């Protein structure tokens, strides 16, 4: 089973969300489908089902490896680098 090699380096406690929704979607006038929280810096971005995929764009731009869902009732995490659910 593939493991995430980045989870141990995440800040503890995790960063507070920098906003309540995806700022890039607000700027672009698009609607986010689901929100994701960067566990390195607290950026909130939309998921890959959204038109612009801002959470993935944030990872590609910054290299921040792990995000978690920012949806109520969900608690999973995803490592962009290792391509594994945590």
Domain that holds residue 47: 18-85
User: Does residue 3 form part of some domain?
Assistant: no
| Whole-structure pTM value | 0.94
Given a contact cutoff of 8 angstroms between Cβ atoms, the answer to whether 80 and 2 are in contact is no
Which pLDDT value is given to residue 22? 97
User: Does residue 13 form part of some domain?
Assistant: no
Domain of 70, CATH number, reads: 3.30.40.10
User: Does residue 64 form part of some domain?
Assistant: yes
- The DSSP line for 29-40 is T---SSEEEETT
User: Does residue 5 form part of some domain?
Assistant: no
The number of folded domains in the chain is 1
Tens-digit pLDDT string for the chain (86 aa): 678 999 898 999 999 999 999 999 999 999 999 999 999 999 999 999 998 999 999 999 999 999 999 999 999 999 999 999 99
């Amino acid at each position: 089973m593939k493991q995430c090699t980045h989870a141990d380096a995440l800040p503890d406690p995790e960063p507070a969300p920098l906003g309540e929704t995806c700022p890039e979607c607000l700027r672009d006038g698009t609607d986010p489908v689901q929100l994701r929280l960067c566990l390195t810096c607290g950026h909130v971005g939309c998921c890959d089902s959204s038109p612009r995929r801002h959470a993935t764009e944030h990872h590609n731009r910054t290299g921040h490896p792990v995000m978690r869902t920012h949806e109520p009732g969900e608690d999973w995490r995803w490592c962009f680098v290792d391509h594994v659910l945590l």
